[in-house]
Structure 1
Amino acid sequence: MGFSNVLFLWASILPLIVLLYYFFRKKYKDQPISSTIFWEEVMQETKASPYLKHLQKNALLYLQLLALILFVLALMNPFIKTSEIAGEQSIWIVDTSATMLAGETFDHHKEEMKSLASELTGQPLTIITTGDEPKTIVRQESDVSAIHKAIDSLEVTFEEEQLIKAIDVAQAYIGETATSIYLFTDSIERGELPISSEHIKWIVKGSSKDLQNVSIKRFAATSIGEEALALIQLKNEADEEKRVELTLQDSQGNVLVEEGVTLKGEEEMTKTFEKLPISQSLFATIQVEDDYVVDNSMVTIIGSGLSQIVVDQQMHQLVQKGFQALNADVKLVPSDQLAAIKEAMIVTNQSELLGKTKSPLVLIGRDDELSEEVNSLVDVSEDALFAFSNLEDVYVNAIYPGFDGFETIATIGEKPFIQRSSKGDIVILADIQSTDWPLHPSFPLFLWSLQSEMLEGSTSLGTFSPNESRGVSLAARDWSIYSKDDEYISSFEDASHFKAPTKPGLYTARSNEDEKLLIVQLSDNEREIKEGTSFELGTLQSNGEEESSKKSIIIWLLIPILLLLVIEWEVQRRRGFTN
């Protein structure tokens, strides 16, 4: 706090004058008189409260002194220093990921943005939202009403924030201009921000602290004969114990499982449900008291188009036995008959079958290349194929060269280990006998995930992230997307540029008589909430001093001065103006 008109301090002599006046005013002595001597008993109550009597006697003095002191302070124009949006321009990066809904963080940030917009002193403002493709909502805007309208239009897109991409876009707008960058997110580490430039000041606005969350981390199901098997993984991120009510429903809304589960603090639990009735899809929901409800539900598709698995007779027995343990409908077929197989999942090491068969193919090893020794650990991506299997402890002695143009989803060192083709075929670039993988619990779980993904592909488009753009295998004609409740979402024609809906859930793509199910699912990162962090990095200076604003508080002094004058007038009126 400070004063901008210190010269008016001379006005402090006014309260001293009033005080001196009361010191030298005429005083009277109390003199007992015979006619009033009996009044003393009546005055005992007043004498019992000497402070109240003193206040009543000197009320005008105190009121006048207080009013004059406030008047002197008002003449000196007091102010408080507030931080100003420094720099020649301001850029706001707004996190629109799903975790911003935890604890209503997104709504709190929007209110804070509106407050900051009112403090802009003519600086142009640029607002950028996060996502796989960051968007510029407004650019170099200085009209406050337009800024408020842009803030109101902001919505959560459920995508991963990918802040680095948004920061790269923001830096393209900076150049040599002194800029304040406000980052409205839930949590980010200081080391993730580039602070090399002297033209940038970072102001990070994090989420509320002490948020609690219980989530469905994984949910998958597959058919075994005439029954279904489901696996679900729950995680309690809170420190305290949580009671969870778990419900499984089929595609018709029928409740299949209702079970109460108690999760200890920071506990992760995996449950298996067997002998469930066959359905197109399964829905899992949990009822629990937490601050983030988006991750309390999940959906999975049970494959019904393909049910048979065909394994090359030349494959190692561990592969044959592994699939037979998961699925009773597994057939061993000679290698020369595999090309004629239709409507089945094929497991082989014949590289020539890639691209020659319409059936989903799992290639384990290669018969057209020589393997080479490796000495490194397996590193997997966040692909859904590894949802239940961890390959970090798997030892691999030798691997084959990878296929060009295939997506690599697991590596050993910097070399491909597991790949996925554009058609969806899976390639494991090692012979099973060259690894100790079958000795690990992750092996049957990986085969289970592999079977689930490959067999559901004929009746569904697969699983997508919110707003994900990806080519899909569909005939070139008009397709429309509908929600689970048969609500129209969007249309598309070019299957190579398919874009998934925004909100997580089960959807249907329809064209004439054809229907394909698809799932929009939150990523693993969006199923965890982190403790919020708010901080500032860097400084912007003007003439050697950091920029700040002075907010006058004189209005808060004028109001009590007027009130004191009214009270003083009322006291004087009660006593009589002639006195």
Structure 2
Amino acid sequence: MGIQSWLSLWFGLTLPAIVLMYMFKRKYVDTTVPSHLLWERVLRNLEANRPWQKLQNRLLLWLQLLAAALMVFALMQPFMQVSGGGSAHVVIVADTSGSMSAQMQPSAEGGAATRLEWMQQRIKEYVKDRGRRSEITLLSVGASPMTLVSHESDRAAIDKAVDGLRPYYGQASYRETLSLASALTREEHDAEVVIFTDSYWKPDTAPIAFQVPVSVEKVQGELPHNVSIDQFGISPKGNADSSYAAVAVLSTNAEASVSAEVNLYGDEQLLTSRMLELEPGKRLTESFSDLPFAEVYRLELSQDDGYAADNHSFAFGLGHGSSRVLLLTSGNLFLEKALQLSGAEVTRVSLDESKDKTAENNGSTNKEAGKSSEAADVPPVPEGEFDLLVIDGDVPEGFRQGKWAELTAKTPLWTIGGEGAKIGNQGGRAVLAKHPVTAYVNLSGVYFGTLVDQAPAWGEPVIKLGDQPIVYAGSENGRPRLSFNFLLQDSDLPLSPEFPVMVSNALEWMTSGKGSGLGRYMAGAQADIPIAADTVAAKWIPKSGLAQADGHPAAEALRNEQGISPVQLVPEYPGLYAFEQQNEAGEKLNHWLAVTADPYEADWSNDQGPAVSQAATNAGESEAGAGSGTSGSNETTNRAGSLMPWLAALALAVIAAEWGVYQRGRSI
């Protein structure tokens, strides 16, 4: 039994008031007088009796006290706790935030491995024992409130929905889910809300108001031991060819010093392993030096603890610092040095223009023999993969076929000069469009001589001299393309201090689409992904960390009306993912992305529970709803209805009995 309005206990002051009335009541004695002349003297004697009297055992007094007590008890709005006789509609809020994935101690009930699994058992027991005559609505706390079942009476469907609960490691929608539960029960008279949680909720100064009874079921157990990797980063010690350094920050919630072994991997190759001593309440900063370059670094705790979501952390090497550039040129020292200063690894292939000019002047009549001789003079394609192909000047015919043609088709291409009729410069001020290639430059005072008259269909002009386009940028077959409609030898641009900046811009823009690390994102957050124009399919593939350990499946990428959306929701499981893009030819391009859990979910110092309040009709349970609940027990508050009608009927019966006594004219 419970009380909903303890404030009504003040009406209990009517009981001593009734007693005082009987103590001050005058006592009249039947007197026989021989004559009405003596009546006046008898009245004077009666008025002189004592005001304070000893209470006597009077039936009328006890009936009045009982009636007053019943009325006061009814005003306190009592209710009964009845097993299996719950409300007609029960809204169950299941806390599926990241902290619910914490491991339970061996002493936990039912042998459940995690808080979430224990919560699933508790919900099933509640539905079976106390909600068997109720309609169930099940809500889960995720990125947004999720309604798994609504007004469901089929116990098999409810159990299936409960079994499908999974932890969400991003920023959980605590307040939004409670608001939805309140809205679903606002207009209902026979409903209640039950919140299953570990009580580690983010502080909320504005409680959610409920119009129905609300209770909290704690699913917590003993506090598990946890060691977390709070931060992890990689930085080069010097230029792109030097070693790398790493810094990690670790902490623990243990009450005493603990040892933790950490392993550092580079592209899944073990680089170093260390045993660290962690002090309670302190963060440990550990440095790693002389590390070789790797595309992906992974720091992991070698032993399992109570919370696996923060046992791995990832960092990425600087992709642009290791870009491989293949430069085809007859000799351009300024261009080659500018590419190297931008951090590129340049492989130069010389174009012998003298042979082309000699063959053109001789006017050879044997064209087939000329082609054979030219093909024989073409150097082989260098081994390895290249991120950018730069062609400085006219391209000989031999470079337009065979493996050179295949390389040109699949590699971002930057041409300088190129084919087309030579035209004069009409003059004018340089006009720059907003583009990554033109960032931080203005080309003021730069001279341009002879230009090439060509307008490629794959791009738009990003630099003009007056109305004359001189630089085009765009993409062809999903590959970035850049064209300078002038030779560097016919301009003083290489002598300008803006030339290295422009080369660096071009290198960064044209190599940004290669597989590289996109950084860290919290689970469920939005990420901007560079999508190639010819991409027809894309998906998220777990490669390492908790996502791979738990067997998280690959997920298809989001689409919009144009195809694969460049704005993607990152997966909800922490770990390392490859965003794999595939074009019609079957070629694949990967981008690495690390997904982390909300760090708040590993902080178990704030055991405050959900912030809820109730209207006046249910004010008596506001404290219980605010997080007191029950811990480690299966007892819940389940109301079968108010006792006020029964108490009112009993009070009326007592008043009727009191009236009968009064009618008889005696109170004894």
- Could you state the TM-score of these two structures normalised by the residue count of structure 2? 0.45
In structure 2, the residue matched to 1:428 is none
- Is the CA contact 2:319–2:517 (under 8 Å) kept in the aligned structure 1? no
Structure 1 unmatched runs, 5+: 2-79, 309-327, 331-341, 343-351, 362-454, 551-579
Which residue of the partner structure matches residue 490 of structure 1? 555
Q: In the TM superposition, what is the alpha-carbon distance from 1:240 to its structure 2 partner?
A: 1.4
Deviation at 1:126, TM superposition (A): 1.1
Pairing 1:273–2:288 present:
yes
Q: Paired residue for 2:193?
A: 181
CA distance in 2, matches of 1:469, 1:149: 30
* In 1: Cα distance, 2:127 partner to 2:180 partner: 21
Whole-angstrom CA distance in 2 between matches of 1:107 and 1:237: 23
**Counterpart AA for 1:254:** Q
Q: Is the 8 A contact 1:229 1:272 kept in 2?
A: yes
The Cα shift of 1:461 comes to 3.1
**Letter matched to residue 517 of structure 2:** S
Equivalent residue number for residue 624 of structure 2: none
Question: In the TM superposition, what whole-angstrom CA distance separates every residue of 1:259-311 from its partner, at most 9, and x where no partner exists?
Answer: 11111112211112111010011111113563212211111212222479xxx
Residue 523 of structure 1: aligned partner: 598
Partners of 1:269 and 1:275 in 2: CA distance: 20
Contact 1:471 1:495 in 2 (8 A): no
Query: Which residue is equivalent to 1:100?
Result: 100
The whole-number CA distance in structure 2 between the counterparts of 1:83 and 1:290 is 38
CA–CA distance in 1 between the matches of 2:556 and 2:639?
51
| Residue from 116, 141, 144 that aligns with 1:133 | 144
Q: Encode CA deviations 1:147-198: one digit per residue, 9 max, x unaligned.
A: 1111111122323322012222223322221432222232237855735343
Task: Judge conservation of contact 1:208–1:532 (CA < 8 Å) in 2.
Answer: no
What SS does the corresponding residue of 1:484 show, helix, strand or coil?
strand
- What letter is aligned with 1:248? L
- Structure 1 residues 401-412: aligned runs within 5 Å: none
Q: How does 1:21-32 map to 2 (within 5 A)?
A: none
Contact 1:221/1:301, CA 8 A, preserved across alignment: yes
Once residues 489 and 276 of structure 1 are traced to their aligned partners in structure 2, the CA distance between those partners, rounded to angstroms, is 31
SS at the partner of 2:320? coil
1:494–1:128 CA distance, 2 compared to 1 (3 A): same
Say whether the 8 Å CA contact 1:209–1:532 is kept in structure 2.
no
> 1:141: Cα distance to partner?
0.9
**Alignment pair present for 1:239 and 2:251:** no
Deviations 1:193-246 (A, max 9, x none): 735343342424242243321100111112333311111110112221111111
Q: Which has the larger radius of gyration?
A: 2
Relative to structure 1, the CA distance from residue 534 to residue 484 in structure 2 (aligned partners, 3 Å threshold; closer, same or farther) is closer
Matches within 5 A, 1:126-205: 126-178=137-189, 179-186=191-198, 187-188=200-201, 194-205=207-218
Structure 2 equivalent of residue 31 of structure 1: none
Q: 1:360 to 1:230 in 2, by over 3 A?
A: farther
Alignment partners' CA distance in 1, 2:249 and 2:614: 43
3-state DSSP class of the match of 2:305?
A: coil
CA 1:215–1:190 in structure 2 vs 1: closer, same or farther (change >3 Å)? closer
Does the C-alpha gap of structure 1 residues 99 and 85 become closer, same or farther in structure 2, counting only changes over 3 Å? farther
The CA distance in 2 between the partners of 1:204 and 1:456, in whole Å, is 51
TM-score normalised by length of structure 1? 0.51
1:208 — aligned with what?
A: 221
What CA deviation, in whole Å up to 9, does each residue of 1:430-468 have, x standing for no partner?
xxxxxxxxxxxxxxxxxxxxxxxxx99972333222233
Closer/same/farther in 2, CA of residues 135 and 163 from structure 1, 3 Å limit = same
**1:40-59 alignment, distance < 5 Å:** none
Q: 1:234–1:81: structure 2 CA closer, same or farther, 3 Å change rule?
A: same
Compared with structure 1, are the counterparts of its residues 169 and 248 closer, same or farther at alpha carbon in structure 2 (3 Å cutoff)? same
Corresponding residue for residue 572 of structure 2? 502
- Structure 1 residues 355 and 275: CA distance shift in structure 2, 3 A: farther
The change in CA–CA distance for 1:457 and 1:290 in structure 2 (over 3 A counts) is farther
| 3-state SS, counterpart of residue 275 of structure 1 | strand
Closer/same/farther in 2, CA of residues 101 and 165 from structure 1, 3 Å limit: same
Instruction: Give the Cα separation in 1 of the matches to 2:185 and 2:279.
Output: 48
Counterpart-to-counterpart distance in 2, 1:268 and 1:87: 49
Q: Which residue of 1 aligns with 2:5?
A: none
Q: Aligned partners of 1:500 and 1:484: how far apart in 2?
A: 14
2-side partners of 1:84 and 1:190: how far apart?
A: 34
What does residue range 3-22 of structure 1 map to in structure 2 within 5 Å?
none
The code of the aligned residue for 1:483 comes to P
Q: Work out the CA distance in 1 between the residues paired with 2:246 and 2:438.
A: 25
What residue in structure 2 maps to residue 383 of structure 1?
none
Q: Confirm or deny: 8 A CA contact 1:132 1:165 kept in the other structure.
A: no
Cα pair 1:242 1:288 within 8 Å, conserved: no
Q: Following the alignment from structure 1 to structure 2, what is the Cα–Cα distance between the partners of residues 123 and 540?
A: 24
The code of the aligned residue for 2:596 comes to Q
Assess if the C-alpha contact under 8 Å between 2:196 and 2:218 holds in 1: yes
Distance 1:456 1:303 in 2: 12
Matches within 5 A, 1:67-78: none
**In 1, Cα distance between equivalents of 2:527 and 2:588:** 23
Alignment partners' CA distance in 2, 1:242 and 1:359: 54
Q: Percent identity?
A: 20
1:69 aligned partner: none
Q: State how far apart, in whole Å, the 1-side matches of 2:439 and 2:222 are.
A: 47
Relative to structure 1, the CA distance from residue 360 to residue 531 in structure 2 (aligned partners, 3 Å threshold; closer, same or farther) is farther
| Number of corresponding residues | 340
Q: Distance in 1 between matches of 2:304 and 2:594?
A: 26
CA distance in 2, matches of 1:190, 1:524: 15
Q: Which amino acid aligns with 2:554?
A: I
Corresponding residue of 1:346: none
| 2:318 pairs with one of 280, 287, 303 | 303
Q: Which amino acid aligns with 1:273?
A: F
How many Å apart are 1:132 and its aligned residue? 1.9
Q: Cα–Cα, structure 1 residues 83 and 263, in superposed 2: closer, same or farther, change >3 Å?
A: farther
**Corresponding residue SS for 1:481:** strand
Give me the whole-angstrom Cα distance separating, in 1, the residues matched to 2:221 and 2:542. Answer: 33
5+ residue gaps, structure 2, are: 2-79, 104-113, 324-340, 344-411, 413-430, 441-510, 558-562, 622-636, 642-668
Q: How many angstroms apart in 2 are the aligned matches of 1:517 and 1:201?
A: 45
Question: How well do the aligned residues superpose, as a CA RMSD in angstroms?
Answer: 3.9
Partner-residue secondary structure (3-state), 1:183 = strand
